[in-house]
Amino acid sequence: MALRSFACAVVAALVVGFSPGPASSAEPVGDPSLVTTPSAAIAGESLTLSGLITPGVQRRVLLQRWAGTSWTQEASTLTDLEGGFSIVSKLRATTTYRAVAPRTVVAGTTYSMAVSPTAEVLALPQSGTLDLPTMSGGGEVVTATARFSPSRAGRAVTLQVYAGALGWQPIATGVESADGEASFPIATAEPGTVTYRALAAAAGGAKAVMTASARLKIAEPLSPAGESPAVVGHCGSIKVDTTWLSSSVHRLTCNVTVLPDATLTIEPGAVVKAPTSSWLAVGGTLQVDGTEASPVQLTSLKDDAIGGDTNGDADATAPAARDWYGIKVQAGGRARLAGTTLRYATVALDVADGSAAEIRGAILDSATGILGRATYVDATGVDWTGTATPLNGTWIDATPAGGWAVPEVPERSAPTSTAAPAECKDVLFIGVRGSGQLPQPGLDDSEYPTPDIGFASMWLVEQGFEDNYAGEVTPWALRYRAGGGTPSIATLLSDDYTSSFWGGVDALTQFIEAERVRCAEDPQQIVLAGYSQGAQVIHRYLSLQGVDDIAAAVLVSDPERNAADGALHAGGADPANPGIYTKLLAGSDLPEGAEDRIISVCHDGDVVCGATPGAVFAAHLGYYAVELRCVGRWAAAIVDAGGAQPMPSCGIPN
């Protein structure tokens, strides 16, 4: 039986089997069974109780409810010819039901009485809350969010304001969402305290429900009379979406925290001033919308040059580094600071692991600019004038406005190895390991005693290839250094990394050239697979030499990954988020034809191949055996088909 939509009724499905009553010489009934769906509703809502009596004959059914000391009849109906029945009832309170089929005679056959198992339907209490900031400045827009439980999507919700002698007056209407919420923007005006509440209308038999009232204090100006702009104080938690306007100076009177699920938006040109040791913490979202022409300024309360003499002490105090703590982006928080200037902080932008932050603008005259820990922070083009320690973290992208100087390409090195495979087979599979992977230094042939040595994690790709390719394969690990030091932005910009990376490009170029000559009479197809620095080596080789002579290539966590490559992207990361090397130094593009034979695998949150705020190096270490073997299978399909093939279905997100 189809259930009614909720706007009409809440449905409880009661599937009933019946046990035989104390009758003799009567047709027995089937074993009892009972299913209820759902098991709870709001008092006043309609329920549909349905069931089945076997054997299937048409007979009367009584619906009974337990009345505390005895069973009382609620309703009755006839079954259909198959023994099915349906009864609509209204839930009064938490109720226990049963269905009874009295002893009956149908077409000369006597059927015994049967009683179903009991089914309890819970009556859910309704509740509602109204969340809004405790304080705001005049002229700002804040958000009031009503939340109701249990939720009833589509129910009308009215926001009311207390108007003194006029009582409660409606000021806005909305519709309850599937998660039980309805939000209303409120434009604040004159200073004072305003009280609000929200009413969800009666619907589907359920009664209306009112939230408790909530008060919003619209702050008095804190600045001296006649001074413009007015100063608005802020203290405590921001629970719902809030906007700080440019028409006021915003003064932290204590620490302010943007809670999860809330967004604080700061308009272009706004000024925020903070007293000693205070901070703005972000557990939800901080959206600063400054521009070059109208920046947002966050500074010391003592800074009279920005926003006037807010503390009213004339020239008695002067601003200095460590006057206030700064912005703390907590785990799970996100800060997007456009056109923003931070001044006189202890740590202007403190970014916890598990958060995301980006800033465009300036961090001036502070003790520490950004504390980034292990999380990628995008601080491209930031001005650090007067800040003692601009950066403290391994993945803070502080690319200057003019960009980094691209390292010079070293002169082509002489081959470090003349070793070659013993014979020419159908496929030469070349693996290129990542930074620091064994062997180290990896330049001597004696360091590669077996084929798998030197492949590192790319051996899984090679095995996935061989398991799905019928021809003969020669696995060969590229002899190169794979150095570079501790993973960090500084490492990628270092001469040591540049030397190692280009040494790998040279080694790969020379080895492939030598193999083409050696196997000229018995050509072999070439497949490449590289991880991290190894993927970058292959990427740069292909950008210089083209893809015409390469059957397939697998790039795992490529630092030069970019959306324009045309390669098949897999792994879950947004192709629009470039690899870290591309982000820092522009990188290189793959040639035409890449989409037919190259796959680039990057996990969401991997800072090496997808440099975006919140990305971490830990995700770079999480490529697992199933997906690596899977991309090896893809490469085998490419070689077999001689052209583009879709990604196999093996659980790897696109």
pLDDT confidence band for 145 (50 / 70 / 90): very high
Q: How far apart are CA 363 and CA 340, in angstroms?
A: 8
pLDDT confidence band for 444 (50 / 70 / 90): confident
pLDDT confidence band for 447 (50 / 70 / 90): confident
What confidence score (pLDDT) does residue 417 get? 66
Residue type, 108: G
Q: How far apart are CA 134 and CA 242, in angstroms?
A: 11
What confidence score (pLDDT) does residue 16 get? 46
Pairing of strands 104-106, 568-570: unpaired
Bond preceding residue 646 cis, omega within 30 of 0: no
What confidence score (pLDDT) does residue 413 get? 66
Mean pLDDT of 118-147: 86
Q: How far apart are CA 604 and CA 622, in angstroms?
A: 11
Domain ranges of the chain: 13-124, 127-218, 231-397, 427-641
Total length of the chain: 654
The more confident residue out of 550 and 422 is: 550
In three-state form (DSSP H/G/I as H, E/B as E, the rest C), the secondary structure along 183-249 is EEEEECCCCEEEEEEEEECCECCECCEECCCEEEEECCCCCCCCCCCCEEEEEEEECCCEEECCCCE
Q: How far apart are CA 325 and CA 280, in angstroms?
A: 8
> Does the structure show a pLDDT above 80 at 134?
no
C-alpha 28: how far from chain center? 58
Q: How far apart are CA 349 and CA 613, in angstroms?
A: 13
What confidence score (pLDDT) does residue 29 get? 62
What average pLDDT does the chain have? 88
- The encoded tokens of residue 487 equal 């993973």
What's the pLDDT tens digit per position in 365-392?
A: 999 999 998 899 999 999 999 999 999 9
What's the pLDDT tens digit per position in 343-362?
A: 999 999 999 999 999 999 99
Which phi and psi angles does 608 have, rounded to 5°? -70, -45
Closest CA to 398 of 343, 349, 354, 441: 349
Give me the CATH code for the 127-218 domain, please.
2.60.40.10
Fold classification of 13-124 is Immunoglobulin-like (2.60.40)
- Based on C-alpha coordinates, what's the Rg of the chain? 35
What confidence score (pLDDT) does residue 34 get? 54
> Does the structure show a pLDDT above 70 at 187?
yes
258 contacts 285 by C-beta, under 8 angstroms: yes
The more confident residue out of 527 and 412 is: 527
What confidence score (pLDDT) does residue 375 get? 93
> Does the structure show a pLDDT above 50 at 120?
yes
454 contacts 478 by C-beta, under 8 angstroms: yes
Residue 59 belongs to what H/E stretch? none
Which phi and psi angles does 435 have, rounded to 5°? -55, 130
Q: How far apart are CA 369 and CA 386, in angstroms?
A: 10
Mean pLDDT of 441-468: 91
What confidence score (pLDDT) does residue 401 get? 76
What's the pLDDT tens digit per position in 537-591?
A: 999 999 999 888 899 999 999 999 998 888 889 999 999 999 999 999 888 888 8
Q: Which of 193-207, 441-455, 489-503 is least confident? A: 441-455
126 contacts 207 by C-beta, under 8 angstroms: yes
What's the pLDDT tens digit per position in 474-522?
A: 999 999 999 877 899 999 999 899 999 999 999 999 999 999 999 999 9
> Does the structure show a pLDDT above 60 at 228?
no
In three-state form (DSSP H/G/I as H, E/B as E, the rest C), the secondary structure along 589-628 is CCCCCHHHHEEEECECCECCCCCCCCCECHHHHCCCHHHH
| DSSP SS3 for 466 | helix
pLDDT confidence band for 26 (50 / 70 / 90): low
For 24-176, list the strands marked E by DSSP: 34-37, 40-42, 46-52, 60-66, 71-78, 84-90, 95-101, 104-106, 109-111, 114-115, 119-124, 127-131, 135-136, 141-149, 156-162, 168-175
pLDDT confidence band for 224 (50 / 70 / 90): very low
Closest CA to 300 of 251, 241, 237: 251
Q: What percent of the chain has pLDDT over 70?
A: 91
pLDDT confidence band for 35 (50 / 70 / 90): low
What confidence score (pLDDT) does residue 21 get? 47
127-218 shares the fold of 13-124: yes
Which DSSP string corresponds to 393-430?
A: ETTEE---TT-PPPPPPPPPPPPS-----SS--SEEEE
What confidence score (pLDDT) does residue 28 get? 64
> Does the structure show a pLDDT above 90 at 208?
yes
The sign one gets for the Cα dihedral 602, 605, 606, 609 is: positive
The sign one gets for the Cα dihedral 462, 463, 469, 474 is: positive
578 contacts 561 by C-beta, under 8 angstroms: yes
CATH of 427-641, picked from 3.50.50.60, 2.40.160.40, 3.90.1010.10, 3.40.50.1820, is 3.40.50.1820
345 contacts 325 by C-beta, under 8 angstroms: yes
Which 8-state DSSP code applies to residue 1? Answer: -
- The encoded tokens of residue 385 equal 């004038």
Residue type, 441: P
pTM for the structure as a whole? 0.69
